[in-house]
Structure 1
Amino acid sequence: MPPIKTLVAAPTTKLFRVEDLEEVGKTRELAEGERQALRAVGDWIKIFMARPHKDLGRAGPVCPFVPAALEQKTLWLAPERSAGRSAADIIQLVDDYKRLLLAAQPVDGDGANDKSIVVVFTDLTAARAKDFFAGVLNQIGIPSYADDGLAMGPFYEGNPDTAIHNPHFRPFISPVPFLLIRPAVITDWKFFLNNEDWLPVWARRHGEPAVQALAEELRRLPWRAGRD
């Protein structure tokens, strides 16, 4: 396992930066299927998520946090298998990665929101991915956001979720199923605006700054034109 100086790593955890996947020595312990899955996701992150897209509906990269995370080397990929694991096992696994990310530097200040862990389920088929991730997120999604300040999102072939600014663009379709774990940010309200379960969780998590964030966005809307 390559050394991860900025993480307090559990002994059995395998974490790889995107650039590690190009070095045979750093992935020697992986099975070929694991290696191929991580490389597919790593390439997709670099080529798709870290770059602008004409159908995104806004300027900037598909994921605004990825370029900084790649530059700062605070994005890690972890290969895992779903076979033979109970629902409780998977929940515990995700909890372990949550704690790992919370311990990663920086824990505050500049760059604190640019770190993430991508848990790649190398044996999970696209057909099973929707129900698999729903089972995980239904149990720990809201508590993780509310209590730990961590957001989680599934990526897999066939994911129907769409971009905020273009309902016809689906940016959550990845070559191999994975679960993204990242810090919660105040702009998450854009994902939760039409979700009656999640919007109050976001508001409680961010408190008064959440109101200011919404107010700033509302001030840009044309309903104010007649008053100016």
Structure 2
Amino acid sequence: MLDRVARTAEARDALLTFAQARADIAAEPQTNAALGTLLSWVESYLMREHADLGRTGAVCPFTRQAARIDTARLAICIAGPDEEERAFTLIRSCFGALDAIPCKPGMAHFRTVIIGFPACTDERGIAMLQRVQKRHKVYSLARGRMIGLMHETSEAPGLWNHAFRPLRAPLPVLAIRHMVEHDAPFAARHPLLLVPYLAKFRLAGGRRLIDHLRGQG
């Protein structure tokens, strides 16, 4: 128990608000080059509209709102392809750190943690992060959380435009956030997500799923 608390505290201390990230990048741009790349991608891609997205609004409206109310946190992990346990331990501790992000009442579901892995850009690094993500699938869903992997060569198709590749990023990224009612399209696509989604959102979630499936017909 004490070890888990210590890991959570360590992860929480490593996470940066957008303002802190900007300050670190301005102070030491070369040292924080990866952080600069991560922040730029979040602000210029995730939080913006995209012509190929297939719907209006930001690529990730969730992240844009989280940034607006200061519940988004960023970090860089230098673990390489041979350091799976190091990456796994950090990500596991980030679940606790996520819950510790200060927020106003009713805004907890906008908490999000985004970790960049600049030493994992090759195939071995991506494969390692895929294993870390897979090892957290059940753990995250049991807690009503979502964990996603983004990287430069991701072939995951878009929900609204299947030709679009929304999960591409200039460096590998693992992100953790709360499952929300608007995740119905993801629940419809991933059977493992369907049960915890319906357990959490019940009738409202069921209605969203039905509406989504009707819209796909």
TM over 0.5: yes
Partners of 1:159 and 1:203 in 2: how far apart?
28
Deviations 1:170-201 (A, max 9, x none): 11111111101111112223123233333223
Tell me which amino acid in the other structure corresponds to 1:205. Answer: K
Asked if structure 1 preserves the Cα contact closer than 8 Å seen for 2:48 and 2:57, the reply is yes
CA shift in 2, pair 1:91/1:24, >3 Å: closer
Tell me which amino acid in the other structure corresponds to 1:15. Answer: L
Helix, strand or coil: the match of 1:164? Answer: coil
Q: How does 1:88-167 map to 2 (within 5 A)?
A: 88-106=85-103, 109=106, 111-146=107-142, 148-167=143-162
Count of residues in Structure 1 that have an aligned counterpart in Structure 2: 209
Partners of 1:136 and 1:203 in 2: how far apart?
25
Asked if structure 1 preserves the Cα contact closer than 8 Å seen for 2:120 and 2:172, the reply is yes
Q: TM-score, normalised by structure 1?
A: 0.79
Deviations 1:191-219 (A, max 9, x none): 2323333322322333333223224546x
Deviations 1:55-78 (A, max 9, x none): 110010110112222221221111
Counterpart of 2:185?
190
Asked if structure 2 preserves the Cα contact closer than 8 Å seen for 1:142 and 1:198, the reply is no
Task: Report the aligned-residue RMSD.
Answer: 2.7
Q: Which has the higher helix share?
A: 2
Q: Return 5+ residue gaps in structure 2 as ranges.
A: 1-7
CA shift in 2, pair 1:25/1:210, >3 Å: closer
Partners of 1:213 and 1:222 in 2: how far apart?
12
Counterpart of 1:62?
59
Partners of 1:75 and 1:128 in 2: how far apart?
28
Q: How does 1:1-228 map to 2 (within 5 A)?
A: 10-11=9-10, 13-24=13-24, 32=31, 35-83=32-80, 86-106=83-103, 109=106, 111-146=107-142, 148-217=143-212, 221=215
Deviations 1:33-91 (A, max 9, x none): xx111111101111111111111100101101122222212211111122386434332
Partners of 1:17 and 1:210 in 2: how far apart?
31
Q: Return 5+ residue gaps in structure 1 as ranges.
A: 1-8, 224-228
CA shift in 2, pair 1:208/1:124, >3 Å: same
Partners of 2:164 and 2:76 in 1: how far apart?
28
Asked if structure 2 preserves the Cα contact closer than 8 Å seen for 1:154 and 1:179, the reply is yes
Tell me which amino acid in the other structure corresponds to 1:210. Answer: G
Counterpart of 1:5?
none
